[in-house]
Structure 1
Amino acid sequence: MLIGIDHGNKQIKTSHCSPFTSGVKESDVLPFGKDILKYDGKYYQLTDQRIPYHRDKTSDHRFFVLTLFAIAQELDIQNVDGRDTLRVQLAVGLPPAHYGAQHLEFSQYFLGRGVTNFTYQDKPYSILIDDVGCYPQSYAAAATIIRTLQDAPRALIVDIGGFTADYLQVKNGEGDLSICDSLENGVILLYNKTRSRVSAEQDVLLDEAEIDAILIDRSPGTPPSLGDLVRRQAKEFVDDLLSTLRERGLELRSGPVVFVGGGSILLRRQIEASGKVRAPVFVDDIRANARGYELLYRVCHSRR
């Protein structure tokens, strides 16, 4: 069974399930609450407290545990029985700038573990990860609309994620890894700056969910002055990001500029109002990278 997983610094996404925070806490005893997984004698529970940024997600076992959560949720939503050992093929990805150096190690991180037995929500699972395909994120998300880019001599993909904002140039539908990079300009930076500014100016402690709610107009009780301050911070963040891209010689006013990732969805209003992008194209599906990984896996394996 093929399962695409987007291992974001902010959220884990799969093709069908609701995204969940890239945070997990470990315990030797059964914790209280929901979203509990037992693996290798330990209990793990999802938490809203993100794992600190890891450039190398293979440095410990936590992203493997988060992968088990994602697999279990995908099996449940697709009504697949995971009790008998199920062969799983993973389609995953990395930022384009990290892809060349890390894709082999990231693929191996999931392989060679043999049969993995675990329980999730008291339900047993048995899986064998027998193949992994790793692809550049951003391009994977754009692959879901690649037909619209095939005739464009040049297009720019911008993926605003949790910790990084990744860009990749596409020529006639093919990704050009010689023109790509990962900037430490993800929405986590916006959250941190906004929280500090709001705390200093208005003595209010906001969390990330509250900032999101203000930016998408789902916080009707927010005082106008507080909402205005949060939106100004978002505008400054977007202006700085787009200026950084322009300083790197990336053209934003000719050819398609495709924005993908949860940060792009969150900041769409500010991007459109910036006046720095002639005709932005938005991939509004937050699961686009995960679905793109599956698409690229199938295309690559059909050619074998």
Structure 2
Amino acid sequence: MRKFENGLKVIGTDLGYGNIKTANTVTPTGLTVYDTEPIFQGNTLEYNGKYYRVGENHKEFIADKSVDDDFYILNLMAVARELQRTGTYTASVYLATGLPITWVRTQRNSFKAYLMKNTLVDFRYNGNDFHIKFVGCSIYPQCYPAIVEHIHEFKGTNILADIGNGTMNILYIQNKKPIEIKSWTEKLGVNQCVIRIKNTVMDMYGVKIDDSIVEQYLRFGKADVSDKYLQILHKTTTEYATDIFAALRKYEYNSDLMKLYIIGGGGCIVKNFADYDKERVIIIDDICAAAKGFEYLAYMQLNRRS
């Protein structure tokens, strides 16, 4: 969160399919709706007579995030978590968020209208009442904002890969400048690896492996399961890591001619399971980098207007 003049708060929300990130918080996107207050407390948002438990599981991939109210509620939760850190419960907020690179042109206006459909919003989150006035919203292409504050380091030819839960966004950066005509979105997010593992386990042993086991293995390369399941986890994840580089080569990635920067949750898979040149492939571990970048761009945009 960045503070602007007159007390305005600029808040970046990275509305991913796996996690919702702000500059300082990370929450899984799972959303369960209740008509009455849930039995267990924590991460619960009350809005318009409904109770929303946030953070259990993940949201499935959909090509248009505005088709239901889920991302609207998740965005409210993200704003609340960021404000709550400073004990702020009444605020004027300027939103800054993003969409996959190739979706921005066609979905920017509709997604902005979706997030801004209510200017004044009152809701309750984890026992605290929030009163928010949304004064504006900027929608940026994913990928570039995550490194925008460090763009001076991107000399020569570079390729940036943002591997989220649903998609992988690819962008060329030439001598510190993003090249719009060399940007793509692939449906090769981390969830594709999770699906492959779950399907393989079901096909081979007729059992369902829990998402939490798979996610733990993808993040840390370890899981408390027997060897036969570890073999599937390792083999399938290594194949997925190989597919990431195959997709990049489809867009003329050549490690001898350019550096590769990887951001997003898929970075841990590359780090743990891929064979790569650590001098030529840089993994940016900060999962909140995109949200911070959205905030920075919006703050600079507001400064230019004032």
Give TM-score, length-normalised by structure 1: 0.90
Partner of 1:101: 106
Q: Does 1:26 align with 2:33?
A: yes
Superposed, which structure 2 residues align to 1:142-181 within 5 Å? Answer: 142-149=147-154, 152-181=155-184
1:98 Cα shift? 0.8
Select the residue among 243, 246, 249 that pairs with 1:243: 246
Change (3 A) 1:253 1:228: farther
**Given the superposition, is the C-alpha separation of residues 102 and 207 from structure 1 closer, same or farther in structure 2, using an over 3 Å criterion?**
same
DSSP-derived class of the 1:267 partner: helix
Provide the secondary structure at the position in 2 that maps to 1:169: strand
Structure 1 counterpart of 2:188: 185
Distance 2:285 2:218 in 1: 16
Q: Which residue of 2 aligns with 1:257?
A: 260
Quote the Cα distance in structure 1 between the aligned partners of 2:60 and 2:104: 20
CA shift digits 1:73-110 (9 cap, x unpaired): 11111222x1x4x1001110011111111122222222
Hey, what does 1:138 align to over in structure 2? 143
Question: Which residue of the partner structure matches residue 92 of structure 2?
Answer: 87
Question: 1:10 Cα deviation (Å)?
Answer: 1.2
Partner of residue 281, structure 1? 282
1:200 aligns with 2:203: yes
Shift of 1:204: 4.7
Task: Name the structure 2 match of 1:213.
Answer: 216
Provide the residue aligned with 1:300 in structure 2.
301
* 1:154-180 CA-partner distances (Å, limit 9, x unpaired): 211101111111101112222222111
Q: Is the 8 A contact 2:165 2:189 kept in 1?
A: yes
State the Cα distance separating 1:129 from its structure 2 match. Answer: 0.7
Q: 1:296: Cα distance to partner?
A: 1.4
Deviation at 1:148, TM superposition (A): 1.4
CA distance in 1, matches of 2:167, 2:19: 13
Q: Which amino acid aligns with 2:87?
A: N
Q: Structure 1 residues 246-255 or 175-184, which shifts more?
A: 246-255
Change in 2 beyond 3 A, CA 1:189/1:274? same
Gapped regions of structure 1 (runs ≥ 5)? none
CA displacement, residues 214-267 of structure 1 (integer Å, 9 cap, x when unaligned): 244464633334323212111111112211221232334322211000111233
* Counterpart in the other structure of 1:55: 63
CA shift for structure 1 position 70: 0.8
> CA–CA distance in 2 between the matches of 1:265 and 1:246?
20
Structure 1 counterpart of 2:157, one-letter code = R
Aligned partners of 2:185, 2:179: CA distance in 1, in Å? 14
- CA deviation map 1:112-139 (0-9, x unaligned): 5121000111211100111111111111
1:20-75 residue CA offsets vs partner (Å, 9 max, x unmatched): 22121222221211221111122111142433222111122211111111111111
Q: Secondary structure at the match of 1:176?
A: strand
The answer to whether the 8 Å contact 1:165/1:185 transfers is yes
Distance 1:148 1:225 in 2: 44
Distance in 1 (alpha carbons) for counterparts of 2:149 and 2:226? 39
2:245 partner letter: L
* TM-score w.r.t. length of structure 2: 0.90
Structure 1 residues 245 and 33: CA distance shift in structure 2, 3 A: same
CA distance change for structure 1 residues 254 and 205 in 2, over 3 Å: closer, same or farther?
same
Matching residue's letter, 2:24: H
CA distance in 2 between partners of 1:209 and 1:267 (Å): 19
State the alpha-carbon separation in 2 of the partners of residues 153 and 104 from structure 1: 34
**How far apart, in 2, do the equivalents of 1:232 and 1:22 lie?**
27
